[in-house]
């Protein structure tokens, strides 16, 4: 009978060891964001309870470790007494007890519960939260002692690292979520764009001076109407003398409602415009344009000359991708024609192109045209080509002295070479 009681207590200790091990793993693996969503959006009280325990992480962890060690020690002690009594030999009983208890606790008290808890972290954390709250109260004196010891250790061994999540770590989390099937590719792209958005500057997205459709303030109204019609734009910059002296913007609606076929001059309907340097962050510019209720900003260089313009639509496209309306001619800046070949616009962002090619970009140029001229060190002609970084690049289309299109062929990676690189 006494053996039965000992065995039942040992089994209970093993079960409690399973509980503590599973709980520790569950609380370490559980998603705080998912719990917060359930607590706030679904009103899940158990999720809220887990969140409260996570806010008291040190106290909770001390409770789990104290409980786990107590039941493991009790299990070992009782098992030793049991095997010594059964085998009538102290040394043999202690040896057999050590082997049996080690195997049992390793399999049933550590490996199995932690494996299960990792796959079911949320359920186990919510199940064990009420029990942990009671244990925290019962073990308050011990928690206070260990808390004081932890503070002393923190003073002795001060951490110099940052505790916050870096941008790169956040991108890694997003990639892991995609691989786990929790979010799809479109959502990943949107999240990535939002994370990288704050780092972008006007120089990364502006329309260059050569592509600006602008009108002089004294242009004939019929000519202005023609430009509005042919360009499809709803806003046009207005300048006096030269495009380096832009005075404002005229809106298509104002032009036809107020100035066209009336005595009202173009100058009278010109609206203000914002002027910005190329180095301005687009996140800051977006706020300014929205606050000022403007849609266009003129980009200036250090000499006060116009180098381009940027629109609110350009900024939003960095978040959500290309926005086409019914008047736009859809132009794909990067088109893959076969497994190893891409046709790329000269205006395409060189970093985005290298990202598509799955290669590191180590060039200062912002566009593909700038990159090609940086390598060739001249204004190229159609047919000019070069090889760089495993890429065969050929200029396929020019407009005057401007690179319109290039063809990029990426050399296929040899399987053995790919394995060597991985090693």
Q: Which residues contact 24 (CB under 8 A, 6 or more apart)?
A: 61, 64, 65, 68, 114, 117
Identify the sign of the CA torsion 337, 343, 349, 350.
positive
Report percent pLDDT > 90 for the chain.
33
Please give the average per-residue pLDDT across 349-362, as a whole number: 85
Is the pLDDT assigned to residue 405 strictly greater than 90? yes
Identify whether the C-beta of residue 209 lies closer than 8 Å to the C-beta of residue 203.
Answer: no
Is the pLDDT assigned to residue 423 strictly greater than 60? no
- 85 vs 397 pLDDT, higher one: 397
Pairing of strands 341-345, 402-410: antiparallel
Please give the average per-residue pLDDT across 219-232, as a whole number: 91
pLDDT confidence of residue 89: 84
pLDDT confidence of residue 33: 78
Angle, vertex CA 8, rays to CA 80 and CA 83, nearest 5: 20
Please give the average per-residue pLDDT across 405-409, as a whole number: 93
pLDDT confidence of residue 160: 53
* Mean of pLDDT over the chain: 85
pLDDT confidence of residue 182: 64
Pairing of strands 235-239, 246-251: antiparallel
Is the pLDDT assigned to residue 158 strictly greater than 70? no
Q: How far is CA 156 from CA 149, 150, 152, 153, 314, in A?
A: 11, 10, 6, 5, 52
Strand order in the sheet with 215-216: 215-216, 235-239, 246-251
If one counts every other C-beta atom within 10 angstroms of the C-beta of residue 399, the result is 10
Report percent pLDDT > 70 for the chain.
89
pLDDT digits (tens, 9 = 90+) for 100-138: 989 989 998 889 999 999 889 889 999 999 998 888 888
pTM here?
0.56
Burial class (CB in 10 A: 0-12, 13-18, 19+), 178: middle
pLDDT-based confidence at 418, cuts 50/70/90? very low
pLDDT digits (tens, 9 = 90+) for 179-214: 766 677 777 777 777 777 888 889 888 988 988 999
Burial class (CB in 10 A: 0-12, 13-18, 19+), 308: buried
Residue whose pair of structure tokens reads 């057999």 in the numeric block: 96
pLDDT confidence of residue 18: 93
pLDDT digits (tens, 9 = 90+) for 284-338: 999 999 999 899 999 999 898 999 999 998 888 887 766 655 555 556 788 888 8
pLDDT digits (tens, 9 = 90+) for 26-42: 988 888 878 888 888 77
């Amino acid at each position: 009978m006494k053996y039965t009681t000992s065995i039942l207590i040992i089994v209970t200790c093993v079960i409690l060891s399973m509980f503590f091990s599973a709980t520790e793993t569950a609380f370490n693996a559980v998603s705080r964001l998912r719990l917060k969503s359930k607590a706030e959006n679904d009103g899940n009280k158990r999720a809220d309870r887990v969140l409260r325990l996570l806010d008291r992480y040190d106290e909770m962890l001390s409770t789990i470790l104290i409980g786990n060690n107590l039941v493991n020690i009790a299990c070992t002690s009782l098992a030793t007494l049991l095997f010594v009594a059964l085998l009538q030999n102290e040394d043999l009983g202690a040896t057999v007890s050590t082997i049996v208890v080690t195997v049992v606790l390793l399999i049933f008290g550590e490996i199995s519960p932690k494996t299960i808890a990792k796959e079911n972290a949320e359920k186990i954390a919510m199940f064990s939260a009420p029990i942990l709250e009671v244990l925290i109260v019962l073990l308050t004196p011990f928690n206070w002692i260990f808390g004081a010891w932890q503070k002393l250790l923190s003073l002795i061994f001060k951490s110099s690292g940052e505790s916050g999540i870096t941008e790169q770590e956040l991108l890694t989390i997003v990639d892991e979520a995609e691989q786990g099937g929790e979010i799809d590719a479109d959502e990943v792209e949107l999240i990535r764009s939002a994370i990288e958005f704050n780092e972008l500057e006007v120089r990364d997205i502006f329309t260059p001076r050569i592509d600006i459709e602008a009108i002089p303030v004294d242009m004939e109204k019929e000519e202005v109407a023609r430009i509005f019609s042919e360009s499809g734009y709803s806003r046009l910059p207005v300048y006096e003398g030269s495009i380096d002296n832009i005075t404002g913007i005229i809106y298509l609606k104002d032009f036809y409602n107020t100035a066209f076929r009336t005595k009202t001059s173009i100058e009278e309907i010109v609206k203000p415009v914002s002027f910005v340097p190329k180095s301005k962050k687009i996140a800051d510019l977006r706020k300014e344009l929205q606050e000022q209720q403007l849609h266009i900003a003129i980009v200036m260089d250090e000499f006060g000359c116009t180098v381009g313009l940027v629109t609110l639509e350009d900024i939003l496209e960095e978040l959500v991708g290309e926005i086409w309306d019914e008047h736009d001619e859809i132009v794909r800046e990067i088109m893959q024609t076969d497994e190893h070949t891409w046709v790329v616009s000269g205006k395409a962002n060189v970093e985005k192109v290298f990202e598509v090619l799955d290669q590191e970009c180590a060039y200062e140029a912002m566009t593909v045209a700038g990159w090609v001229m940086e390598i060739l060190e001249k204004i190229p002609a159609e047919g000019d080509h070069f090889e760089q970084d495993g890429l065969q690049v050929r200029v396929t289309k020019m407009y005057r002295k401007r690179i319109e299109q290039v063809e990029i062929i990426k050399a296929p990676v040899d399987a053995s070479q790919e394995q060597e690189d991985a090693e």
